[in-house]
């Protein structure tokens, strides 16, 4: 009977040792995935002649590798643009006249790693850009480079000079 108890006791101890090793290899704390808790636009009802700032508040930043914004209008979609982190609020400002009046859809994507795997979470914001003042006309500051016409004038002058040199000889 003592041999049976010793054998059982040995198996239990062996099982507990294996279990201890397995638990030591498995992470005991699970970090929460990042979450986009809010997205806002300033101004909330933008006009085409105003800068538009998009803010995205993200929680659980431990494994975040980047936050990007893309936009789509009725005619074009952008490539991803990195947003700037201000203590968990990611921001990007689009300059005035970037968007024509009409629909603009924004998509915020948070890239992060979880157990060495690349993951993403995203959220969208739809806006209607209202008509604003027309963009100001470009100033003519006199610093424009000459066009192809100036090149032709120079070539003609060189040809006339070359011909006059030949006739003198």
Q: Is residue 64 part of a domain?
A: yes
Q: Is residue 10 part of a domain?
A: no
* CATH code for the domain of 110: 2.60.40.10
Q: Is residue 89 part of a domain?
A: yes
Which backbone phi and psi does 31 adopt, to 5 degrees? -80, 140
Question: Is the CB of residue 108 less than 8 Å from the CB of residue 126?
Answer: no
Q: Is residue 18 part of a domain?
A: no
Q: How many domains does the chain have?
A: 1
What would the mean pLDDT of 75-79 be, rounded to a whole number?
95
**pLDDT surpasses 70 at 33:** yes
Picking from 62, 80, 77, 92, the residue whose alpha carbon sits closest to that of residue 122 is: 80
Residue 29 — very low, low, confident or very high, per pLDDT cuts 50/70/90? Answer: very low
Q: Is residue 19 part of a domain?
A: no
**pLDDT surpasses 90 at 163:** no
pLDDT at residue 156 in the model: 74
Pairing between β-strand 52-59 and β-strand 64-72 as defined by DSSP bridges? unpaired
Q: Is residue 40 part of a domain?
A: yes
Quick: pLDDT tens for 90-148.
Answer: 999 999 999 999 999 999 999 999 988 999 999 999 999 999 888 777 776 655 555 56
First vs last C-alpha separation in the chain: 131
Provide the domain limits for residue 97.
35-129
Calpha distance 16→158 (Å, rounded):
96
**pLDDT surpasses 60 at 6:** no
**pLDDT surpasses 90 at 169:** no
């Amino acid at each position: 009977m003592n041999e049976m108890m010793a054998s059982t006791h040995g198996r239990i101890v062996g099982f507990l040792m294996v279990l201890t090793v397995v638990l030591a290899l498995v992470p005991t704390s699970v970090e929460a995935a990042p979450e986009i808790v809010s997205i806002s636009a300033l101004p909330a009802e933008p006009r085409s002649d105003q800068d538009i700032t998009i803010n995205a508040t993200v929680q659980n930043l431990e494994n975040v590798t980047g936050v990007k914004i893309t936009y789509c209008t009725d005619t074009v979609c952008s490539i991803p643009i990195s947003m700037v982190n201000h203590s968990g609020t990611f921001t990007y400002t689009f300059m005035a006249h970037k968007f024509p009046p009409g629909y603009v859809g924004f998509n915020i994507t948070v890239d992060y790693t979880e157990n060495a795997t690349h993951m993403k979470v995203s959220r969208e914001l739809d806006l209607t850009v209202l008509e604003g003042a027309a963009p100001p006309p470009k100033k003519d500051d006199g610093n424009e480079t000459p066009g192809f016409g100036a090149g032709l004038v120079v070539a003609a002058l060189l040809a006339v000079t070359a011909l006059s040199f030949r006739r003198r000889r």
